Amino acid sequence: MTETNSTEAEKVDETPWYAIRTFNCQEQKVVDFFEGESLYSFVPMMDSGKVVVKEGQKPERILVPAIHNLIFLKKTAYRKEIAEKLARCPIPISPLKRETDSAFYEIPAREMLEMRMLCDPRFNALIFELPESGDITVGHAVRILSGPFKGFTGRLIRKSKKYYFVKTIAGIGVMVRISRWNCETL
């Protein structure tokens, strides 16, 4: 195998993710526990609108979880080993499970990559929707044709006379305002 091919192979990470539910807004404590257990996690964050200014440093924006009580956990070991580590967590947590066989619900790596890119806190045009609104399940299936999210698939919905691209993972929808002309119907 050539050096170019091995580098390209390393860039493609096909490791799935789990969605972990927490309780009482304990996301940071759970993330700290995961780090102590050598588990890699992701919490979608958004700008709180507040800024902290420390003497002699640049002002820093304060980020808060965009979706309370939800953490995404990368499947870096066998499910049984991860389940044992989750059982040791001192904070109550619960992995989302499939309805058919109660196994942990796995989110494909490609979908998590798209979710992580969409949830970049520097991008200020995000709206997070929970499944109760119903908006995240209606709309046309589309693929984005150009721009930073080129190739992403999701749904195109219209809300308040504006068009939004919606990506749904584990029942949570991330909405990004987009031109409908920048999408093709699937």
pLDDT score recorded for residue 4: 42
pLDDT score recorded for residue 127: 61
Residues 135 and 84 in one domain: no
Share of the chain above pLDDT 90, in %: 27
Residues 98 and 138 in one domain: no
**CATH of residue 149:** 2.30.30
If pLDDT is split at 50, 70 and 90, which confidence band does 134 have? Answer: very low
Does 116 reside within a domain? no
State how many domains the chain has. 2
Q: Tell me which of 108, 136, 164 is where a domain ends.
A: 108
| Cβ burial, residue 168 (10 Å; 0-12/13-18/19+) | middle
Residues 98 and 145 in one domain: no
**Cα–Cα distance list, 157 to 139, 145, 169, 177, 181 (Å):** 5, 16, 16, 10, 13
Residues 26 and 94 in one domain: yes
Residues 88 and 142 in one domain: no
Does 59 reside within a domain? yes
Residues 11 and 92 in one domain: yes
Mean pLDDT of 118-144: 65
32, pLDDT greater than 90: yes
pLDDT score recorded for residue 8: 47
Does 22 reside within a domain? yes
pLDDT score recorded for residue 65: 84
**Cα–Cα distance list, 47 to 31, 122, 126 (Å):** 19, 8, 10
Residues 25 and 82 in one domain: yes
Does 115 reside within a domain? no
Residues 22 and 86 in one domain: yes
**CATH of residue 48:** 3.30.70
What's the pTM value of the predicted model, to 2 decimals? 0.69
Q: Tell me which of 77, 108, 139 is where a domain ends.
A: 108
If pLDDT is split at 50, 70 and 90, which confidence band does 185 have? Answer: confident
96-134 core/surface letters (b: 16 or more CB in 10 A; e: else): eeeeeeeebbbbebebbebbeebbeeeeeebebbeeeee
Task: Tell which residue, 102, 173, 176, has the closest CA to residue 133.
Answer: 173
pLDDT score recorded for residue 93: 94
Domain range for 80: 1-108
Higher pLDDT, 9 or 156: 156
Higher pLDDT, 120 or 113: 113
pLDDT in tens, 44-92: 887 777 888 888 888 888 888 877 888 999 999 998 999 999 999 999 9
**Average pLDDT in the chain:** 81
Mean pLDDT of 93-108: 87
Q: Is 80 helix (H, G, I), strand (E, B) or coil?
A: helix
> Which residue do the tokens 């860039």 mark?
11
pLDDT score recorded for residue 122: 67
